Amino acid sequence: MLFLLSFIACKGDLLANAGEFGRILYTLETDYKIDGFKLTEAKIATGYPQRISASLTPSGWKMVGDEPFSVYHVSADEDNLVVDSESLLDGEMGVPGFTVQGNAAGSFTIESKLQDEIVDQIALNFVVPDEVSVLSWVRGPNTEEFGEEEGDNIKVSVGSQAAFIPIPQFEGERIIGDLEVEISIDPPEAAVEGYNIESVQEGGVVASSNPASVYFVQEGGVEVCAKDVVNDVESCQKFTVE
């Protein structure tokens, strides 16, 4: 059984840095814990767009004045770094944020400009993940709350539901990454994909498979694997269903 799991950063650690000129604060939010707080010292997974918000410091306001919405962001190395700047059309009222995607490993610079003048800039570090770890949250068949589970082999009961957070790693450490993984289950008949029901009406049911979860329906050993579909890296978590 295969399905895609999209991971979007939200409600997690914040990594931030003022730019080199001290006029803009750049902030990236993750859905899991990252060592450190400085965005410029963090490592970011290649191959996926990551969203970064921007806000003016006092010196930035002095330079920009009443035109914060006119600031835009560009890549100083368009071959290796793709920057998509937001605008008023995206609902931004202050300095627009942007998404950035590194297509190769290395340190690349984003420039924030007002017309043709550089307001600030920041260099970010990108690496190719060499591992994807799986953080598992499990809810027993007779409980309402999920508990974080870890270990080489996690024991669960038949009927338990498990949800997963894929976390990219590099050289044994967690890195930043809004990424897309493919989840596979072996044996495939040991679990079924869960659906999230948003509403039930006479006209039909509104439901979604994202965020992804599985229900264990068969006793025995089960392996859940997460594969980074861009960087071709896979890690697996074993379960024993009792």
Each domain of the chain, given as residue ranges in start order, spans 8-127, 131-241
| pTM of the predicted model over 0.85 | no
Q: Which of 222, 226, 225 is nearest to 239 (CA)?
A: 222
CA distance 35 to 160: 31
Give the three-state DSSP class for 34. Answer: coil
- The three state secondary structure string of 44-75 is EECCCCEEEEEEECHHHHHHHCCCHHHEEEEE
Asked if the domains 8-127 and 131-241 are classified in one and the same CATH topology, the answer is yes
For residues 190 and 221, what is the distance between their CA atoms, to the nearest angstrom? 8
Q: CB burial class (10 A; 0-12, 13-18, 19+) of residue 226?
A: buried
Query: For residue 36, what pLDDT is reported?
Result: 76
Beta-carbon contacts of 201 under 8 Å, excluding residues fewer than 6 positions away, are none
Task: Judge whether residue 204 has pLDDT over 50.
Answer: yes
Q: What is the average pLDDT score of the chain?
A: 87
Question: Quick one: pLDDT at residue 11?
Answer: 47
Token output for 136: 């598992």
Distance CA 36, CA 55 (A): 21
Confidence of residue 212 (pLDDT cuts 50, 70, 90): confident
Give the pLDDT of residue 44. 95
Q: What's the CATH architecture for 131-241?
A: Sandwich (2.60)
Q: Which position has the higher pLDDT, 125 or 196?
A: 125
Which CATH architecture best describes the domain 8-127?
Sandwich (2.60)
| pLDDT for the residue 6 | 39
pLDDT of residue 151: 87
Cα separation, 32 vs 14, whole angstroms: 10
